[in-house]
Structure 1
Amino acid sequence: MQVTYRGLWHPVHTFRGPHWCEYCANFMWGLIAQGVRCSDCGLNVHKQCSKHVPNDCQPDLKRIKKVYCCDLTTLVKAHNTQRPMVVDICIREIEARGLKSEGLYRVSGFTEHIEDVKMAFDRDGEKADISANVYPDINIITGALKLYFRDLPIPVITYDTYSKFIDAAKISNADERLEAVHEVLMLLPPAHYETLRYLMIHLKKVTMNEKDNFMNAENLGIVFGPTLMRPPEDSTLTTLHDMRYQKLIVQILIENEDVLF
C-alpha cells in the first residue's frame, strides 16, 4: 500500500464497467485490478500514474464517514477548514463555561457520556449539540476533546517528529531547548501545526485561571503529553521512559506559546 499526504491509494482496485485513468486519460485495461483509487477524493488512475499525481487532492466529504479516528489532514481538507471543527467547538464550549472548573482536563467525565459526544460529532458534524442543556458537566466536553486527540491515527505531534521533540526536551540549556522545539514545530504538517497552536493558546488561558481550576502548565503537560504524542513503535517501555519528556514538551509549548507559534 502506498500511503501519501493525499490519503490511501488502495493497492489495486477492480472497477465495474469501462474506466479511464483520470491522470493520463487512457483506458484502464483488464477485467480485474485495473488501477488504484484514492480513498480521500476517489480519483481513479493507473497504478503507475499514481506515482505522478500531486499530493494535494480535495477529499470528497461523501467518503469521510466519521470525524473521530479520521486523519487530521484529510479531515480539514475535506471540510476546507484550518483545524478540525471538533477542536473549535469543544474549546469554544469549554472557554464559555469551564475555565474556572476545578481540575479541568484532569477530572474525568462519564465514559458513556463522552462516547455520546463522539457519536454526536460523527453523526451530526458541526451541528452536534454539546451545550450545557445536554451536557451540564464540562468534564464530558474536555473528555471528548482528549478522546479526539487520542483517536487520531497520526497524533497531533506526528510520529515523524516524535523523536526530535524528545531529543529537544533532553537539552539542558533552556534557551537552546526552546530553539530546538521551535525548529521541530516547523516540521509539522500545516493542519497539525495549526491544531497544536490553537490548543496551546487555549491551554494558556486555562493556566491563567489556575487559582480557580488548580491547573498549571505542568499539570496540563501530564494530561496532554501522552494524548498529543505517541512513540512510533508500540512499546510500553519507551512510553514509560518518555513520559517526563512528553510532559515537558507540552509544558514548554504552553508556557511559550506566544514565542513558539
Structure 2
Amino acid sequence: MLRSVAVNAEPSSPMQKVWKPELYKIQLEAPTPKLLHRTRPLPTNNTNAEPHCYGPEYHGVMGHIKAEQLLSNKQDGTYLLRRSPNAIDYFTLSVRFNKRTKHFKIYYQRGKGHYLLEQSKHYDTIHDLVADGLVNFYMQLHAAPIILQINQQTRNCYQQSPYMTLNRRKLRALSHELGKSIVAAKGNCEVEPNANADINSIIKNANITQSNEILTAVKDNINDAGDTILPLVYEKAHTFKVHNFKGLNWCEFCANFLWGFTAQGMKCEACGFMAHFKCAELVPAKCVPDMKRIRGVFGTDLTTVVQLYQSSVPFVVRRCVEEVEARGMLQEGIYRVSGFADEIDALKLGLDRDGEKTDMSEGAYGNVNVIAGTLKLYLRLLPVPLITFQAYPSFMQAARSTSVAEQIRNMTEAAKRLPPAHYNCLKFMAEHLKKVASHYAANKMNEHNLATVFAPTLIATPQHMTNLTEEIFMLSTLITNCGEIFV
C-alpha cells in the first residue's frame, strides 16, 4: 500500500503532507497496452506492404468497421494499427477503451518518432503512445474532479506548496541576505533589529518594486529578530520546459502526482521546479536558481547570475571593468578596437569554467582590448538585453524630451522600470563609460563614440534595424547624465 511522503514540517508551516497520492493510485488502475498481433501475412502489393516504422501491430489496409469487429469483446488497452482505405500520409490507430473502440490518425517522421498531428508529444514506439493515451483517458474519466480542483487553485497555494516546505530554510536565508542588500543600497548596512528604518523609502530608492506582501516581509526581515518565514524580495521568472519524468514525481505547486507515461509536466531549467502544465501557469516569478543547473554565465539571464553569486553586478562585468579602468583608460579606441577573437573565446571559456578565479591579469591577457571585447560579448549574449524590451520604449520616449532637465527626469522614471539586476548593472556600466569618456583626450572615446559602440549591445533593437541614431543619442544622454539619472 502506497503512503503519502511526509516531512517534518516547521511549526509555522501548514503543510504536513508533501505528496497527495490520490492521482497516483488512479493511474495504477489505468489499462495497459495490449498489442493485437496480426494473424496472417500481409498481401505483397505495395498498398499493404508493412511500413518500416511498424511491426506486428500493423494489419494493412482496413476500414473502421473491420477494426471494430476485431477489437470487439477485447480488454481495454487492446490496439492495432492499420491504413484507412483513403489515407495518404497517415496511419490509423484503433484502441479499445471503456468498452468502445477509438480511432486516431498517427504520423511518423524519422528523428521525431510517432505523433498525433494535434499534439506536441512525440513517442519512440507505438506502445509508448498507446500507454500515454490510456493513462490520460483513464484520468479524464476517473480523476476529473481532482484535476478540476487543481486547475481552479490560486497563487496563494504557493506559500503552502511542497517547494516552499522543502526549501523554506534556503528561501529564508536568501530573503535575509536580499533584505540586507536593500538596506545597504540606501547606505545603511548596519541595522539593529528594532531600528526605525524607513523601509518603504529604502526599497523605493533601491529600485525594488514588489507587492505589499513582499514589502511587509522585508520589514519583518529587518525589524524582527525572530525566525519568520519570508518570501523572496525579488522577481525572476521560471524557465519552464516540457519534461519527461522518470519514476514517481509530484507537482511542487499543488502536491499532486504528475500523471502520464511521458511529457507529464513542466520543469524549470534554472531551479528544477516541477509542475503540471496548468500549475506552471500559476507559479509566481520567484525562481531560486541552482548553481549545478547553470552551465556558465555567458548567455545566462542576468537576474539568475546575480542571484547565484549573491552580488548586485555580475562578476564578469565587475572584473572586466576593473581591468579596463586599471590599464585601458588611456588606450586609444578602447571598446572600439577589437581584441583577438581566439583570446576572447579563451577568456569566455575561462570565465564560464572558473568563475571569479579566472586570471585576467596583464600577464595572462596583455592586450586590454581582449578584456573590453569579452565584456561586450557578455552583454551581447544576455537573453534579455540590459535595457529590457519592456523598458526600451520609455527610454526612447525620454530621449525625445525637449529639454535636458526633462530628459533626465523621464530617464530616471524609465530606469525604474528595469528589474533590479538590470538597473544596478546599467548604472554600473554608465558610470564606468563616463569615466572612460573623461579621458577622451587620450583614448579618443567620448560619450557619443561609446554610445555608438554599445547601442547594439545594451539596447533591445530589432535585428533588421541599421539606423540607430536615436538609440545612440539616448545612450549618450544616459552616460553623460548618469549621476542624476541613477540617484
Secondary structure at the counterpart of residue 90 of structure 1:
helix
How big is the shift at 1:218? Answer: 1.2
1:41-190 aligned at under 5 Å gives the runs: 41-190=271-420
How big is the shift at 1:65? Answer: 0.3
1:240 pairs with 2:450: no
The aligned counterpart of 1:227 is: 457
The aligned counterpart of 1:36 is: 266
Distance 1:7 1:199 in 2: 27
Distance 1:6 1:92 in 2: 31
> Is the 1:40–1:58 Cα contact (8 Å) retained in structure 2?
yes
Bigger Rg over Cα: 2
Distance 2:275 2:309 in 1: 24
1:6 pairs with 2:237: yes
**Which piece of structure 1 moves more, 96-105 or 186-195?**
96-105
Structure-2-length-normalised TM-score: 0.50
How big is the shift at 1:108? Answer: 1.3
Aligned partner letter, 1:246: E
Percent identity, aligned pairs only, is 43
1:25-55: CA deviations, max 9, x gaps?
Answer: 2222222222211111001122222223221
Distance 1:188 1:35 in 2: 31
> Is the 1:6–1:74 Cα contact (8 Å) retained in structure 2?
no
Secondary structure at the counterpart of residue 469 of structure 2:
helix
1:249 pairs with 2:459: no
Secondary structure at the counterpart of residue 390 of structure 2:
helix
Distance 2:265 2:381 in 1: 31
Distance 2:384 2:427 in 1: 17
> Is the 1:6–1:40 Cα contact (8 Å) retained in structure 2?
no
How big is the shift at 1:91? Answer: 0.6
Distance 1:252 1:225 in 2: 12
**RMSD of equivalent CA atoms:** 1.7
How big is the shift at 1:102? Answer: 1.4
How big is the shift at 1:143? Answer: 0.6
1:191 pairs with 2:416: no
Distance 2:397 2:478 in 1: 15
| Misfit runs of 4+, over 6 Å | none
Distance 2:240 2:415 in 1: 28
The aligned counterpart of 1:218 is: 448
Number of aligned residues: 253
Aligned partner letter, 1:247: I
Aligned partner letter, 2:255: A
Unaligned runs of 5+ in 2: 1-119, 121-234
**Which piece of structure 1 moves more, 135-144 or 16-25?**
16-25
Secondary structure at the counterpart of residue 455 of structure 2:
helix
Aligned partner letter, 1:6: A
How big is the shift at 1:164? Answer: 2.5
Secondary structure at the counterpart of residue 219 of structure 1:
helix
1:191-236: CA deviations, max 9, x gaps?
Answer: 11110001111111112222221221111111111111132x43x2
Secondary structure at the counterpart of residue 387 of structure 2:
coil
More helix by share: 1
Distance 2:249 2:310 in 1: 29
How big is the shift at 1:145? Answer: 0.4
Aligned partner letter, 1:7: H
> Is the 1:41–1:60 Cα contact (8 Å) retained in structure 2?
yes
Aligned partner letter, 2:240: W
Aligned partner letter, 2:298: Y
The aligned counterpart of 1:259 is: 484
> Is the 1:13–1:34 Cα contact (8 Å) retained in structure 2?
yes
Distance 1:39 1:130 in 2: 30
Structure-1-length-normalised TM-score: 0.91
